Amino acid sequence: MQDFRQEFIAYAVARNVLRFGEFKTKAGRLSPYFFNAGLFNDGEALAKLSQFYAQALVASGLQCDVLFGPAYKGIPLVASIALVLAQQGKNYPYAYNRKEAKDHGEGGVLVGAPLAGRVLIVDDVISAGTSVRESVELIRQAGATPAGVLIALDRMERGQGELSAVQEVTRDYGIPVVAVATLDDLMAYLGDHADLAAHADAVARYRSNYGVAR
């Protein structure tokens, strides 16, 4: 297991972005943990988060030409990740979309670099997959090719069927999903911390009920 994944989990716990207890999900399930990437909400946290994203992208070996951040959460993410990668000598153009088309000035829904070649979608998580679907449509309409999706955490749990939301994206669009960390990484972290043993048992039970295999 690559160290940055465990560092990411530890940082998310320290920032209270990853919390343990009982939380109701959109699917109506009672989850023993909750991940809210919106709480990476200051400059230091955003910079650190972007470094983790950059490490995950480099470790994946996934090739792309442009980074794309869907509105709204993807906008600060894609800009800060592009900055981190540029500081590492990897200068990627980036773009994002507006929720509503602009009818003056340059117009349109896209802002930033033109979508061309292989475009990587950057987001926080994949829940229903709506953001990915809209992003794929925008990329294809621009004549470019979706290269994959880069997210913070893969919960690795079933959606409406037997597949997870991440697996559904891969099935529906034929593109890989790269996560900074997964439920596997979270469980490994809990297993290494005796003070979190009670949460480890709860997460294991939750995965037994709702988890999917990779």
Domains contained in the chain, number: 1
**pLDDT number for residue 198:** 86
Q: How far apart (Å, rounded) are the C-alpha atoms in residues 103 and 101?
A: 6
pTM over 0.75? The answer is yes
Return all residues near 104 (Cβ < 8 A) that are at least 6 apart: none
Q: What does the DSSP 8-state code read for residue 211? A: B
| CATH number assigned to the domain comprising residue 87 | 3.40.50.2020
Provide the annotated active-site residues.
Answer: 102, 104
Residue 58 has pLDDT above 90, yes or no: yes
Q: Mean pLDDT across the stretch 2-6?
A: 89
Residue 136 has pLDDT above 50, yes or no: yes
Residue range(s) defining the domain that contains residue 191: 3-210
Residue 182 has pLDDT above 70, yes or no: yes
